């Protein structure tokens, strides 16, 4: 299968990017002259710019569009007003997660969705199948680029381009760069103050170049999706296919805060209510290495206090679950991870992770692993 390319692909090639496949797209993993560690540090200490144009874009328009979306997705769209964005989830009838999505509420007649690249087609298909007559569900995946400016100095970069920076967290405003209209949303996936800019595909090159130039006095660094992953893991943010999946529900992912439990209906509501009431499903937890171990997805997690007689692995330890995401934390300088674990595991307890045949001790903790600045004014 031929991979799709961002409208900024030639810029990434010129910058010496190393590419990887993300949801059917060839996207920059890291860049020459620093790599993931330098890019991660730039966001934590200054500012970085990411091309995340592989993310989906879906426009839902028609009478009652907001009401329709609210009846499908988990979060309560009635909690926000036009001009605000909201994190929500699309679930199947069994409560499994089809995708997690950012919803931009433009008006009661128009809602813009940003799903993950690999799941856009599935989200569009489900919405179209459920849409009432007269409701338009348009896949605009190739019509827009998404650029993320993230870091402690992100305001300075946008201010230099006369873009808005004074709006609240998870709200959006209009702006113009090099004659191109764009949407500036105060959100991101790094834990730092930042913005995501949605611009037409035709305007992407001009806006990217303007951001890089405006950011030079502030030490801006172009960043790939490798650093985006280490940054989001330090925050304990879920990634679909890891902490969320058709087998991992919002309840299991500890994302119940993004579920409007009092709503009369949404996809998967009965299954999620049952999971919440029974409180028996495994849940996502954070792990911090006590030694030098670095966890990776798929590694098994076992009890740290001897065999229990159930689901034991070859060592005789009780199998408690497995790693869903894991990395070396550039900020903490130690291994951190997220794991789907049995509910019996208590915060603060020690578990063992099978790191290539070595049983490495980890402490169970509640993310985030670093102090966020996302919502600071």
Same domain for 286 and 165, yes or no, is: no
| Helix ranges (DSSP H) in the chain | 9-14, 35-45, 65-72, 120-130, 154-160, 204-215, 225-235, 269-278
- Taking the C-alpha atoms of residue 343 and residue 333, their distance in angstroms, rounded to an integer, is 28
Give the tens place of pLDDT for each residue, 205-263: 999 999 999 999 999 999 999 999 999 999 999 999 999 999 999 999 999 999 999 99
- Taking the C-alpha atoms of residue 41 and residue 192, their distance in angstroms, rounded to an integer, is 11
Give the tens place of pLDDT for each residue, 323-371: 999 999 999 999 999 999 999 999 999 999 999 999 999 999 999 999 8
Give the tens place of pLDDT for each residue, 161-192: 999 999 999 999 999 999 999 999 999 999 99
**Strand pairing of 4-5 and 25-30?**
parallel
With respect to residue 271, please indicate whether it lies within any of the assigned structural domains: no
With respect to residue 266, please indicate whether it lies within any of the assigned structural domains: no
With respect to residue 150, please indicate whether it lies within any of the assigned structural domains: yes
CA distances from 358 to 214, 291, 305, 354 (A): 48, 12, 16, 6
**368 cis-preceded (ω within 30 degrees of 0):** yes
Same domain for 9 and 148, yes or no, is: yes
With respect to residue 262, please indicate whether it lies within any of the assigned structural domains: no
**What is the predicted pLDDT for the residue at 375?**
75
Name the strands in the sheet holding 4-5, side by side, starting at the edge strand that comes first in the sequence: 4-5, 25-30, 18-22
Give the tens place of pLDDT for each residue, 286-302: 999 999 999 999 999 99
Check which CATH number belongs to the domain holding 72 and give it: 3.30.70.1400
Same domain for 123 and 176, yes or no, is: no
Same domain for 227 and 172, yes or no, is: yes
Number of domains, the chain: 3
In eight-state DSSP terms, residue 310 is S
Q: Which structural domain range is residue 108 located in?
A: 58-139
Same domain for 63 and 209, yes or no, is: no
In the block, which residue shows the tokens 């849940």? 283
Give the tens place of pLDDT for each residue, 111-133: 999 999 999 999 999 999 999 99
- Taking the C-alpha atoms of residue 139 and residue 365, their distance in angstroms, rounded to an integer, is 40
Same domain for 311 and 193, yes or no, is: no
Residue 176, number of CB atoms within 10 A of its CB? 14
With respect to residue 195, please indicate whether it lies within any of the assigned structural domains: yes
Same domain for 106 and 189, yes or no, is: no
Mean pLDDT of the chain: 95
Same domain for 150 and 72, yes or no, is: no
256: CB partners within 8 A, 6+ apart: 250, 276
Final residue belonging to a domain, choices 203, 235, 267? 235
- Taking the C-alpha atoms of residue 321 and residue 257, their distance in angstroms, rounded to an integer, is 23
Same domain for 230 and 147, yes or no, is: yes
Secondary structure E strands in the chain: 4-5, 18-22, 25-30, 48-51, 58-61, 84-91, 97-107, 110-114, 136-139, 144-150, 172-177, 180-185, 194-200, 221-223, 283-289, 300-303, 319-329, 334-341, 350-355, 358-365
- Taking the C-alpha atoms of residue 27 and residue 323, their distance in angstroms, rounded to an integer, is 25
Check which CATH number belongs to the domain holding 305 and give it: 2.40.30.110
User: Dihedral (C-alpha) 77, 78, 81, 86: value to the nearest 10 degrees?
Assistant: -30
pLDDT bracket for residue 373 (50, 70, 90): confident
Q: Output the six-digit token pair for 58.
A: 């879906």
- Taking the C-alpha atoms of residue 176 and residue 164, their distance in angstroms, rounded to an integer, is 10
Same domain for 33 and 147, yes or no, is: yes
């Amino acid at each position: 299968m031929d991979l799709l390319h961002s409208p900024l692909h030639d810029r990434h090639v010129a910058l010496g990017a190393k590419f990887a496949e993300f949801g059917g797209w060839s996207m920059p993993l890291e860049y020459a002259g620093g790599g993931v560690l330098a890019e991660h540090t730039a966001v934590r200490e200054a500012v970085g710019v990411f091309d995340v144009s592989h993310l989906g874009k879906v426009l839902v328009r028609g009478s009652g569009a907001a009401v329709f979306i609210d009846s499908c997705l988990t979060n309560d769209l009635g909690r926000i007003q036009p001009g605000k964005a909201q994190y929500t989830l699309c679930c199947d009838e069994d409560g499994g997660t089809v995708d997690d999505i950012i919803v931009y509420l433009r008006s009661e007649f128009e809602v813009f969705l940003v799903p993950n690249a690999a799941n856009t087609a599935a989200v569009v298909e489900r919405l179209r199948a459920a849409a009432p007559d007269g409701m338009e569900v348009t896949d605009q995946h190739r019509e827009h680029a998404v650029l993320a400016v993230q870091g402690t100095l992100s305001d300075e970069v946008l201010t230099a381009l006369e873009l808005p920076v004074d709006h609240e967290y998870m709200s959006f405003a209009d702006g113009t760069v090099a004659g191109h209209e764009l949407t500036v949303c105060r959100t991101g996936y790094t834990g730092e103050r930042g913005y995501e800019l949605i611009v037409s595909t035709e305007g992407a090159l001009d806006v990217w170049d303007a951001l890089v130039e405006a950011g030079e006095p502030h030490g801006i660094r172009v960043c790939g999706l490798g650093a985006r992953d280490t940054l989001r893991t330090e925050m304990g943010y879920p990634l679909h296919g890891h902490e969320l999946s058709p087998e991992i529900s919002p309840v299991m992912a500890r994302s119940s805060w993004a579920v409007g439990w009092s709503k009369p209906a949404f996809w998967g509501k009965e299954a999620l209510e049952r999971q919440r009431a029974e409180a028996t499903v495994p849940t996502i937890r954070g792990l911090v290495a006590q030694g030098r171990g670095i966890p990776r997805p798929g590694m098994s997690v076992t009890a740290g206090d001897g065999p229990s007689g159930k689901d034991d692995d070859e060592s005789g330890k009780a199998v408690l679950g497995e790693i869903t995401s894991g990395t070396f934390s550039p900020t903490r300088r130690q291994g951190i991870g997220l794991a789907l674990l049995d509910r019996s595991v208590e915060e603060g307890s020690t578990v063992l992770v099978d790191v290539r045949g070595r049983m490495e001790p980890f402490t169970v903790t509640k993310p985030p692993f670093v102090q966020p600045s996302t919502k600071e004014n």
